[in-house]
Amino acid sequence: EPEVTQTPSHQVTQMGQEVILRCVPISNHLYFYWYRQILGQKVEFLVSFYNNEISEKSEIFDDQFSVERPDGSNFTLKIRSTKLEDSAMYFCASSPLLEQYFGPGTRLTVT
Amino acid sequence: GESVGLHLPTLSVQEGDNSIINCAYSNSASDYFIWYKQESGKGPQFIIDIRSNMDKRQGQRVTVLLNKTVKHLSLQIAATQPGDSAVYFCAERAGANNLFFGTGTRLTVIP
């Protein structure tokens, strides 16, 4: 069964550094998403991406965040200058239309 | 704004019993709902979805009920097994394609 995959599983970075989180969505899906989950809290929407552009973004997704689909398979989330409060699990998801399938997540730790 | 909340943060059931997990939502414009299961250290796993033009939908051992009058969603798990132990989230979609998640209910199955 096809799955969304994410790398790395755990990323440790220093405050102010740039990080890139990588995702490979399910191959025939058209919609791609990033969510985050701070420890012990609920999953929060960051951004959705369709037809090679951002279709919606939340207030969390400020100028420090960007997404890219550099080729036909990868979908990346970049945080330009990380802050301590960016520490969270970051989940990528993809969907053919409605039902969203999530990857295993990348745990980002900012020190 | 939208909000999705769960009535009970924890639920313990005996193996073999049925489980009912509840969810309240506040946005009457929400037209699509999903239940996710999240095991420790993993991403949300799609369980079942329902559109707002339906009241009930059944899957394998799971049933989702939607009561639009009182904005209530429930997940019923039949013959609960130890492998069902996890945190369960409901999520709603209101217009756009992003999902708003509830805070989660931790289901513990007692062998």
Hey, is the C-beta of B63 within 8 angstroms of any chain A C-beta? Answer: no
Q: Which residues contact B2 (CB under 8 A, 6 or more apart)?
A: B25, B26, B27, B30, B92, B94, B100
Q: Say yes or no to pLDDT of B38 above 60.
A: yes
Give long-range contacts, CB 8 A cutoff, 24+ apart: A19-22: A19/A78, A19/A79, A19/A82, A19/A108, A20/A76, A20/A77, A20/A78, A21/A76, A21/A77, A21/A78, A21/A79, A21/A90, A21/A92, A21/A106, A21/A108, A22/A74, A22/A75, A22/A76
Residues of B in contact with A91 (CB under 8 A): 43-44
Hey, is the C-beta of A90 within 8 angstroms of any chain B C-beta? Answer: no
Give per-residue pLDDT as tens, B56-79: 999 999 999 999 999 999 999 999
Confidence of residue B2 (pLDDT cuts 50, 70, 90): very low
Hey, is the C-beta of A65 within 8 angstroms of any chain B C-beta? Answer: no
d(CA A57, CA B34): 20
Kindly report the nearest CA distance between residue A18 and chain B, in angstroms: 24
Residues of chain A with confidence (pLDDT) below 50: none
> What's the pLDDT at B103?
80
Confidence of residue B95 (pLDDT cuts 50, 70, 90): low
What average pLDDT is seen over chain B? 89
Inter-chain touch A91–B89, beta carbons under 8 Å: no
d(CA A15, CA A8): 18
- Least trusted range by pLDDT, from A92-96, B12-16, B94-98: B94-98
CA B97 from chain centre, in angstroms, equals: 18
> What's the pLDDT at B3?
46
Chain B's closest residue to A36, CA to CA, is B43
Cβ atoms of residues A88 and A108 within 8 Å: yes
Residues of A in contact with B45 (CB under 8 A): 102
User: Could you tell me which residues are beta bridge partners of residue B10?
Assistant: B106
Hey, is the C-beta of B90 within 8 angstroms of any chain A C-beta? Answer: no
Identify the residue among B30, B37, B97 best suited for mutation to test binding to A, counting A beta carbons within 10 A and taking the highest: B97
> What's the pLDDT at B4?
54
The encoded tokens of residue A32 equal: 């791609």
Q: Say yes or no to pLDDT of B94 above 80.
A: no
Inter-chain touch B96–A98, beta carbons under 8 Å: no
d(CA A57, CA A109): 23
pLDDT higher at B83 or A39: B83
Confidence of residue B6 (pLDDT cuts 50, 70, 90): very low
